[in-house]
Structure 1
Amino acid sequence: MQGAAIRVRGQVQGVGFRPFVWQLAGRFGITGTVLNDPEGVLIHAAGDRLDAFVAAIAAEAPPLARVDSVETAPFRFDLAPTDFRIAESTGHGAETRVTPDAATCAACIEDIHGADPRRAGYAFTNCTHCGPRFTILKGLPYDRAQTSMAPFEMCADCAAEYADPADRRFHAQPVACAACGPRLWLETAEDLPAGDAMAQAAGLIRAGRILAVKGLGGFHLCCDATNADAVALLRQRKRRPTKPLALMDRLENIPRYATLSAAEASRLQDPAAPILLLARKGDVLPGSLAPGVDRLGVMLPYTPLHHLLLQAVDRPLVMTSGNLSGEPQVIGNDEARSKLSGIVDAWVMHDREIMRRLDDSVERITPQGLMVLRHARGRVPGTLPLPEGFAEAPQVVAFGAHLKSSICLLKNGQALLSHHLGDLDEALTWDEFLKADADYADLFDHAPALFACDLHPGYRSSQHAAARAGQAPLIEVQHHHAHLAACLGENGWARDAGPVAGIILDGLGLGPDGTIWGGELLLGDYRGYRRAAWLDPAPLVGGDAAQREPWRNAVMRLDRAGLEDLAEVLFPDCPVGLIRQAAAAGMNAVPSSSAGRLFDAVAACLGLSSRRQSFEGEAAMALEALAAKAPEDFSAPYPFADDDGVISPAPMFAALAADRRAGLDPARVAARFHAGLAEVFAGAARALVESGQAGAVALSGGCFQNAVLLDLVVRKLDGVPVLAHHHVPANDGGLALGQALVAAASHRP
């Protein structure tokens, strides 16, 4: 009997795709089979309405599915099928995508609140439209035996649901109920009377205690977000003095303490369930949750456990990563008992193993659209299609930077950017980096022909790349060229579409001239670049100390502007003379064009985190929050000088000093600085486009996480094509994507 072989590629496993196809087949009178294999979903089908059936596959796909292509070819059945069946998965390997973990769907929320008596109050309820995926996965294909649910044998009721194609739990690999699935318990040093673990946990939280709560990708540290004393205690124990703490709350409560647009409400309710940065309002919550900034990081509950806990506590909760500051999030029960014992008063535990550490993703909605700050749970292991011209690219692996590290794999026309890994100076993060490298390579059957890394030989990621590559080609990619390529790749800029003007503003990246770059205008594409303009370099006195202590950058910038006296007035308790001597001698004082350090310098001049930052970007975040208070001054930018591509901030500092003497509100100073920096770089980039040298302007680098700066630059480029980041971090978390594309572009088939 003549029929068709239908190949569906994309994110089509673990999302209820086979029962969806089974239901479509019944609707269109189709006979045959559907199964999972390493390439995705394979359908053998026959019937009079095949064309309509094929069209509906992509048009009506399940909510978590992402269909890349539906390919058809003739197929002859040896025996005419009389029905439509879901067949067993076949093969090994990974040519298809794995579905990211997804927040609890509305139907499962109803179930835990009583709609399903077997799952009322059950903290591990899920179906094909929601629940754990990547965090429980051991290998492909995605079947229960390949997950950490394998030890939990389904009861008769769950097995019946699992086997029924008409049930929304058909082949939902983590399906379980209270009779057969994972169990939840509370551990504490105190003797508590027997009782419901969730109710007891809620009572401890309301009493001001700090709990460790085991979630999808690791443990959270949790306390009552309305209790200033509890927040202060958490900060003290976690050694996190000022870095903002994430919150978890129900959607209807958020407008009490944060503004919430329709776009933000929609993003919060996405299956990815990210932490979203929202504008704070009022004083309902303690200021200590996010001191010095005007945003709160808020997420909705994304597991049944979270929903039940919030219902029991009935107030917003702090939900921050369960770790000591700088270390990876803990995921194992024994690890949590050991490492969190000095921080928490009790543990909310369960016995489903977490297969990989995943922090929560962090995002914000800006006037220019969505911005991803941390690429993690809910987003990985999603993929991006490679731009036109990369179809024949070989398999590539790139190892990112040293901070905000990540790994990127290219295969079959797709780029897979790993989850956020962190700072590779930290020994435990380095271990996680090595595990992630092996994990992704094994899980996605990846055999790279090319390796890529940062130009800096001192980065551990670069050293690892060299060791992994062996005799294979290793492409060392300049840091800011990688930022440029990442932005081009995310926006689908074709390989042969020509050069763009790239405004790349970030903290630090080694330049080919041996200096530290970070405030650059590049003219280039995937294959190469030239430096068209840059910030006038100033010494980074003390190396890493200059990143931690903004006053050092302020002194160097003020001195270069002829404002030495002001430096001594502003920083009377700092060893100004000593760093001047070091700079003059060139002792651990490499020149740097870093825009990030320029932000630090201006922030220090305004008294923001001037002595020492407790976390990366603290001073710059405070400066952005300050600037947002004086939008009227965006039309009064401070001047910068542009001398044949060397952009000097000296005139800006002179104007800043004059305004300071006049007693101008610091918010207006911050706004004028932002406007001036945006104006000078946008003007130089516009000139490259208008002269025909560039086809667009690309914006990348960590400074473009600053929504005020991003919006000002885009507005000053009105009428010019602009490429910006929306789904890949502008910071170093997206660097591996750019490295991989540069390496692929160097390949000649």
Structure 2
Amino acid sequence: MKALKILTQGIVQGVGFRPYVYRLATDLNLNGHVRNLGNVVEIIIEGEKTDDFVRRLPEELPPIAKIDSMEVDEIELEDYSDFEIIESGDAYSGVSVIPPDIAICDKCLAEIRDPNDRRYKYAFNACTDCGPRFTVIESVPYDRVRTSMEDFPLCDDCLVEYRQPLDRRYHGEAICCSDCGPQMEIYEGSHRLDVENPIRKGAEILKEGKILAIKGIGGTHLVVDAYNDDAIKELRKRLNRPNQAFAVMCKDLESLENYAQLSDREIETITSNKRPIVILKKNDGYRFPESLSPGLHNIGVMLPYSPMHYLLFDEGDIDTYVMTSANIPGEPMMIENEDIIGGVNDYSLIHNRRILNRCDDSVIRFRNNELSFIRRSRGYTPEPYTINYDVNDANVLALGPELDVTFSIARGDKVYPSQHIGNTNKPKTLMFLRNAIENMERITKINEFDVIACDMHPHFFTTRLAHELAEKYDAEVLPVQHHHAHSVALANDHGIDEMIVIAADGVGYGSDGTSWGGEILYTDISSFERMAHLQPQLMPGGDMATRYPARMLASILDDD
């Protein structure tokens, strides 16, 4: 008999990892304990079958869990009498990884549709295999007291499940029920409606052609009937979005196949527990109004991912809804109830659970059957990905440009991407960026930086923020030429150290202090050579000229 101390890192918090360890240890008649230690999970085991435990641990993980590293050391026996989950601590340094928000699992979905289940029609059903994570967490270790679920103490029935090691809700920090968890309400304007079933009422008013705001897991959607041309046009008018395609949510895959073409990989992605929006080609059965995605041959579609979405479809008879982000153009999604109620919508379906980290829907497109991110956010953030080079011991914060911003934190060969932030030339979005950086620092436990990377443009708000943060952290500012950044990203995606890249990305501030656009660059990780480029053109009105093509045309025609 021997004793082992095992330290695991990866996606091992908030995914049912500790209950899994408990079940595996008891199955092998091992004693000891398991606990969260900030950014690692510590396991102490004693017994005859410790080697079997080490072998099986990475092979039988829960659906969301992932082990990136596992350190195993033999220690002295302490003669534990049993195996237990003990209170979390914060003893180790390093990087913590919190999983993204995950779509409702089949078991939880079956419960909200079962009239005999105590969670029947409950819009916040979750377990250790599904539900919110990133959007409700404030800091690590991942325990209920460090999430917005702290506002909802568990009732006696939920507490029994929470404490029962063999229950799938054992130490599931997001679990709750209608007796102890968040509740939904519906408002007409600023007036709260006294209805027994707010979601059913929401389905009814959508059938009437009204605009409904729905506060979800990581933000708020503006919703209308996807078949109602007048409702779609009214939504466009109120948002001042005359041509931008609207994404839709479809009831199920069978309904979706009536109007869109899907490859096997697209089906695999759209039905995954990440549930992104997938850009699909319209098929011959497409029957929505032209106003939904005007002039386009494709449409962005997602399937339901939260209990409230499924209940909305169950309570109505519409199989597809427009679901677009509820925000003023250029500003972050609304997450505060008073802002949602005061929006452009006719009705508001809201709840009383705080959203700690906004997280918009991810958008994916397949090119030559290869997955490509249009927007990497819900379902994928903040799960890290591996790059093809190592930043060694440096901590790097990369802030991005000014429009359609995300930021990333890098350590070693791992990059932790933020959720979609937006256009930081808007004060509220810039504040969102600042808050999101602070939240990511708390979640990853990376709160000191050696390098702050930013766009080379001296007047971007992100560039100014980079210098401000560099002073705070005593860090180096690393300006990066806009098109070189795209080139390096492309090289990394293809695992190539150097390549010639055509960067047709519009305007970027050049290393010579002029505006560049339409570049051919020889590039590697740290440098580039500008081999060729489009002829420079005057831009009447500066960057705004790109929004008014007639200005650029006049400039080109006037060029001697």
Q: Considering the TM-score relative to the shorter chain, is it more than 0.5?
A: yes
> Which residue in the other structure is 1:284 paired with?
287
1:245 is paired with a residue of what secondary structure? coil
Provide the aligned length of Structure 1 versus Structure 2: 552
> Which residue in the other structure is 1:515 paired with?
514
Q: CA deviation at 1:283?
A: 3.9
- Partner Cα distance (2:521, 2:52) in 1: 50
Distance 1:4 1:386, change over 3 A: farther
> Which residue in the other structure is 2:337 paired with?
333
1:256-335 matched pairs, under 5 angstroms? 256-281=258-283, 282-315=285-318, 316-335=320-339
Return the letter of the residue paired with 2:547.
R
Contact 1:239-1:324 at 8 Å conserved across structures: no
Contact 1:182-1:352 at 8 Å conserved across structures: yes
- Tell me, which stretches of 5 or more residues in structure 2 are unaligned? none
- Partner Cα distance (1:457, 1:317) in 2: 43
Contact 2:186-2:193 at 8 Å conserved across structures: no
- Partner Cα distance (1:191, 1:51) in 2: 60
Q: CA deviation at 1:132?
A: 0.7
- Partner Cα distance (1:40, 1:491) in 2: 31
Contact 2:214-2:220 at 8 Å conserved across structures: yes
> Which residue in the other structure is 1:81 paired with?
80
Q: CA deviation at 1:300?
A: 0.8
- Partner Cα distance (1:501, 1:191) in 2: 60
- Partner Cα distance (1:62, 1:484) in 2: 37
Residue 223 of structure 1 pairs with residue 224 of structure 2: yes
> Which residue in the other structure is 1:374 paired with?
375
Contact 1:393-1:413 at 8 Å conserved across structures: no
Contact 1:94-1:140 at 8 Å conserved across structures: no
> Which residue in the other structure is 2:428 paired with?
428
Contact 2:402-2:462 at 8 Å conserved across structures: yes
Distance 1:314 1:57, change over 3 A: farther
Deviation per residue, 1:163-222 (Å, 9 max, x gap):
112111111101101111111111114786643212111111101111110101111111
1:287 is paired with a residue of what secondary structure? coil
> Which residue in the other structure is 1:476 paired with?
479
Residue 354 of structure 1 pairs with residue 358 of structure 2: no
> Which residue in the other structure is 1:744 paired with?
none
1:14-413 matched pairs, under 5 angstroms? 14-77=14-77, 79-91=78-90, 95-114=95-114, 117-189=117-189, 194-250=195-251, 251-281=253-283, 282-315=285-318, 316-338=320-342, 340=343, 343-390=344-391, 392-413=392-413
- Partner Cα distance (1:271, 1:192) in 2: 33
- Partner Cα distance (1:175, 1:187) in 2: 26
> Which residue in the other structure is 1:3 paired with?
3
Distance 1:491 1:26, change over 3 A: farther
Structure 1 stretch displaced more, 409-418 or 313-322: 409-418
The TM-score normalised by the length of structure 2 is 0.94
Contact 2:390-2:413 at 8 Å conserved across structures: no
- Partner Cα distance (1:328, 1:194) in 2: 30
Q: CA deviation at 1:368?
A: 4.4
Q: Which has the larger radius of gyration?
A: 1
Greater helix percent: which structure? Answer: 1
Contact 1:94-1:141 at 8 Å conserved across structures: no
After superposing on structure 2, the runs of 4+ consecutive aligned residues of structure 1 that deviate more than 6 Å are none
Return the letter of the residue paired with 1:432.
F
Return the letter of the residue paired with 1:89.
S
Return the letter of the residue paired with 2:516.
W
Deviation per residue, 1:366-404 (Å, 9 max, x gap):
2141011111111111112243443x2311112110111
Identical positions, percent? 37
Q: CA deviation at 1:94?
A: 6.4
- Partner Cα distance (1:184, 1:125) in 2: 13
Contact 1:108-1:125 at 8 Å conserved across structures: yes
The TM-score normalised by the length of structure 1 is 0.71
- Partner Cα distance (1:68, 1:371) in 2: 24
Contact 1:254-1:260 at 8 Å conserved across structures: no
Q: CA deviation at 1:491?
A: 4.8
Distance 1:192 1:418, change over 3 A: closer
1:433-512 matched pairs, under 5 angstroms? 433-445=433-445, 446-470=447-471, 471-491=474-494, 498-512=497-511
Q: CA deviation at 1:289?
A: 0.7
Contact 2:96-2:443 at 8 Å conserved across structures: no
Q: CA deviation at 1:488?
A: 3.5
- Partner Cα distance (2:387, 2:268) in 1: 27
- Partner Cα distance (2:192, 2:398) in 1: 51
Q: CA deviation at 1:415?
A: 1.2
- Partner Cα distance (2:4, 2:466) in 1: 45
Deviation per residue, 1:275-324 (Å, 9 max, x gap):
11111123411111111211111111111001100121232111111122
Distance 1:291 1:208, change over 3 A: same
Q: CA deviation at 1:490?
A: 4.4
CA RMSD, Structure 1 to Structure 2 (Å): 2.0
Contact 2:31-2:45 at 8 Å conserved across structures: yes
- Partner Cα distance (2:387, 2:55) in 1: 25
Deviation per residue, 1:610-668 (Å, 9 max, x gap):
xxxxxxxxxxxxxxxxxxxxxxxxxxxxxxxxxxxxxxxxxxxxxxxxxxxxxxxxxxx
1:158 is paired with a residue of what secondary structure? helix
- Partner Cα distance (1:227, 1:549) in 2: 31
